[in-house]
Amino acid sequence: MAVTGIGLVSPVGTSAAEVFDAACEGRSGAVRPGEDHPLHGLVDVVAFSPEIEATSVLPATEARFVDRAIVMALRAAEDALADAGLEVGRNVAPDRIAIVVSGVGGLGLLEEQVLQYGRKGRLGVSPYLMPGVLPNMAAARIAIKFGIQGYTSSVGTACAAGAQSVGEALRILRADEADVVLAGCSEAPLFPTFAAAFGNARALAHGWAEPTDASRPFDRRRNGLVLGEGAGILVLERPEHARARGARRYADVLGWAATNDAYHPTTPRPDGSAAARCMSQALRDAGLAPGDIGYLNAHGTSTKAGDAAELLAIRTVYGGPDTPPVSSTKGVTGHMLGASGVIEAAIGILAMQRGLLPPTHNLEDPDPDTEVDHIRKAARPAQVQAVLSNSFGFGGHNVSLVLGNPGPDPGAEKSTA
């Protein structure tokens, strides 16, 4: 199925080109929270996305009690639809466009309202709290804003949710339940309680002289992730629908798979076996062999256990260190939780378009026990026809996407004859 539109909000840019250039050039979005920020003293390093005024995507009467995650999702959806040249009711029927947009929901706004309850009691809590924070509300708000009346849902698979949303979109299109699907995720976890929980779990990078050094996937000195925020939405479209309206095709989503470690709520299965099975199943779904993949965008969060397990999984699929070129672009973006998978899919798409593979930023001394073909220090020129993108989440959720370079449209001559 064709990818015809991309909308992104990230710590390193708000377009696919900006994000891809930052990944290739090693321009990190990691910073230290300012002294006046609520996260100051709780975390060493974070990755903020640009501020978006809620009134730029919602009426002023509705903008006050809407979480930042919903605002970012609306901006990404608006940009993705514009990028695809789609207008609901004009070139796609309202009931033939679906939405699968995920995220943990508006926990920052919920925290704020809990504090209000503590200060003022019942009357301090907004009656608009629930529609401002529920996990389905990013998808619902997109439907309301654009008049989309088809299948609408959200996925709750933690850091795998964005990638799984793209996979579910592929399932919907294959079943002919829609002509177009908006698929993605939006996450805004940079508020005190959430950050404190990650810090107390010793999952966050710390002790680095420069914040841009902190996120270092697969590096021997890695000591935790950099928590980030962002949103990504892709427009997926049935090829014949895209062809009929003369749409540009960025790439094709060829296949996907989802598995579960069935091991631990937060720690991945150490041998990476379920993740390896996920990658293999995604390749089979796409009708490709492991050797057909020209670039692998890894989940690679910069944690000790997670990175090691993923590298073992990659080696399992390829039977050793002779793998496709591998990198994790979280070295520049930080870990945007479920939104990472969509933004990384966009990076994979640009890698195929430009013939350039982004490196893993800060990868100076690769973990020697899990050797693969790491892309280090500089972007690597390569003509790539297929990309594998991994996303793994708490609860043992594994999702792999296979993206393909669309090349010539086999139906183009017939459609223009």
Q: Rounded CA gap, 96 and 161, in Å?
A: 23
Closest listed residue to residue 142, CA positions, set 212, 209, 94, 207: 94
Beta strands in 292-385 (DSSP E): 295-297, 326-327, 356-357, 380-381
Report the DSSP pairing between strands 386-393 and 295-297. Answer: parallel
- pLDDT tens, residue by residue, 94-129: 999 999 999 998 899 999 999 999 999 999 999 999
List, for residues 335-347, the tens digit of each pLDDT value. Answer: 999 999 999 999 9
Which residue in 24, 278, 299, 374 is the catalytic one?
A: 299
Rg (CA), the chain: 20
171 CB contacts (<8 Å, ≥6 apart)?
none
Joined tokens for residue 221: 């000195």
Considering 24, 159, 185, 278, which one is annotated as catalytic?
A: 159
pLDDT of amino acid 367: 87
233: which strand partners?
Answer: 7, 184
Question: What residue spans define the domains of the chain?
Answer: 2-406
User: Cα 119 to chain center, whole Å?
Assistant: 36
DSSP 207: -
Q: DSSP readout, 22-60?
A: HHHHT----BPPPTTSTTBTTBS-EEPPPP--GGGTS-H
Cα→Cα distances 411→239, 240, 242, 406, 407, Å: 9, 8, 11, 12, 12
The verdict on whether 299 is a catalytic residue reads yes
Please say if 335 is a catalytic residue.
yes
Residue ranges, the chain, pLDDT below 50? 410-417
| The pLDDT value given to residue 370 | 85
Which residue has tokens 């903008």?
Answer: 63
Residues in contact with 340: Cβ distance below 8 Å, sequence separation at least 6, in sequence order: 159, 162, 230, 299, 330, 333, 391
Name residue, tokens 């990472």.
340
- The per-residue pLDDT for 256 is 98
Nearest residue to 15 (alpha-carbon basis) of 5, 4, 26, 25: 5
347, 23 in Cβ contact below 8 A? yes
Asked about 159 being catalytic, the answer comes back as yes
CATH number of 2-406: 3.40.47.10
**How high is the pLDDT of residue 415?**
33
380 beta partners: 357
Full-model pTM = 0.95
Question: Could you give the dihedral angle defined by the CA atoms of residues 360, 365, 370 and 374, in that order, rounded to the nearest 10 degrees?
Answer: 30
Lookup: tokens for 367? 């973990």
pLDDT of the residue at 368: 84
Write down the pLDDT at residue 64.
85
State how far the Cα of 334 lies from the Cα of 323, in Å rounded to an integer: 24
Alpha helix stretches (DSSP H) within 147-227: 161-174, 192-200
**Catalytic hit among 24, 185, 241, 335:** 335
